[in-house]
Structure 1
Amino acid sequence: MTKIILRPLILSDLESYYDLNKPSRKFHEFNGPYFEHETEEELLQRIEVLRNDLTAGTYKSHNLIIANADTNELIGQVTWHWKSKETNWMEIGIVIFNEDYWHQGIGFTALKMWIDKLFAEHDEIVRIGLTTWSGNKAMVKLAEKLGLKLEARYRKARIVAGTYYDSVSYGILREEWEAMNQ
């Protein structure tokens, strides 16, 4: 299996980051396909903002890049945001941009590393959640394999290519994660 690292986005990543995020990439079919996606022009604008921020040293992000540990090649990205800062509830996400790396266990390894890191760096977090749609079978399987519990199913909440799918939310409490990973 490919060894991976989680690291910040750097200036030299931008060409590859742009190529891997193009609207034609396959991951868009699974990563929130019910939302409006960036156009090529919007992506170029986002890359330019990233370039300016990285050059100026003002780039700040909760996200980390998933990279090949041996070659530093970009593979994907892990993310987090506060679902409810008031209740210390963090929501996470993952995307494997590069389909050459799909079905190799990288998502499992990266998301496990990410959850470990977030619980270690944020003492206040009591729970971590992950939301996807029922048509994203790989993400559902990943959440369950990691030990996240199905906490909510919003029936027929997402429309993809004219078909309704459920929105599904998974979560894990800090004490559950720690007990599983002793």
Structure 2
Amino acid sequence: MYIGKLVRLRAYKEEDIERAVEFINDEEVKKFLDSNIPFPMTKWQEEEWVRSRKANVDFTYDFAIEDLETGKYIGGCSINECDVKNRTCVIGIMIGDKEYWSKGYGSDSLKVLTKFIFEEVNMNKIKLKVFSFNTRAIACYKKVGFKEEGILKKEVYRNGKYHDEILMAIFKDEFAS
């Protein structure tokens, strides 16, 4: 477990799956997560995803995000696409419980995850992608120190129009300072 001011990053538990399915099927949450068609996910699909991630030993890490005060599961974050040679990885984060939006839980989770990656996994660069309409997430990433590296123009089709996808990153030496 890794602890911040507001959150604890921990392993997923069996009882998290029901809430995870609720989060991923919430239209407002889902629109920020995936560039694919926002199709509902079943509990079985979520269980299969969890099993497949546990079986994957290629430097991927998945954490449940828990409210430190209440112990409530509120979302998740992950480290993906680790490039051991070049010391880079791609991350994802989701605060699925909308009661916790815009209250610092996302940035606290991101700080804890970023510290873990730089101090324990020994990466030099952390990358992420965010849709241009996800202004709350962009503000969160910038608050932690992520900087824009590029824009993929009209990369995502949502609600009848195209949106840009923003590429952001932070380096180990920038986070330390």
For Structure 1 versus Structure 2, the TM-score category normalised by the shorter chain is: 0.7 to 0.9
Amino acid at match of 2:69: D
Task: Kindly indicate whether residue 67 of structure 2 is the aligned counterpart of residue 68 of structure 1.
Answer: yes
Displacement after TM superposition at 1:148 (Å):
1.1
The count of aligned residue pairs is 169
Compared CA separation, residues 173 and 50, structure 1 to 2 (3 A): closer
Displacement after TM superposition at 1:83 (Å):
5.7
Deviation readout 1:112-166 (Å, 9 max, x if unpaired): 111001111112x111111111111111111111111111112222221121211
Compared CA separation, residues 166 and 20, structure 1 to 2 (3 A): closer
SS of residue in 2 equivalent to 1:11:
coil
Q: Which residue of 2 aligns with 1:135?
A: 133
Q: Which residue of 2 aligns with 1:98?
A: 97
| Segment of structure 1 superposing worse, 75-84 or 161-170 | 75-84
Deviation readout 1:62-116 (Å, 9 max, x if unpaired): 1101111232211111111126444221111111111111111110111011100
Compared CA separation, residues 144 and 48, structure 1 to 2 (3 A): closer
Q: Which residue of 1 aligns with 2:153?
A: 155
Check whether the contact 2:31–2:38 (CA below 8 A) recurs between aligned residues. no
Amino acid at match of 1:24: D
Distance 1:141 1:30 in 2: 14
Q: How does 1:1-182 map to 2 (within 5 A)?
A: 3-21=6-24, 23-32=25-34, 34-40=35-41, 43-49=42-48, 53=51, 62-82=61-81, 84-123=83-122, 125-179=123-177
Deviation readout 1:8-43 (Å, 9 max, x if unpaired): 10123233333333x2342112222x3134534xx2
Distance 1:100 1:45 in 2: 26
Distance 1:83 1:167 in 2: 21
Amino acid at match of 2:125: R
Please tell me the root mean square deviation across aligned C-alpha atoms, in Å.
2.3
SS of residue in 1 equivalent to 2:33:
coil
Distance 2:65 2:134 in 1: 20
Distance 1:98 1:25 in 2: 12
For the pair shown, the structure with the greater C-alpha radius of gyration is 1
Amino acid at match of 2:67: N
Quick one: percent identity of the two aligned structures?
21
Distance 2:66 2:91 in 1: 18
TM-score when scaled to structure 2?
0.84
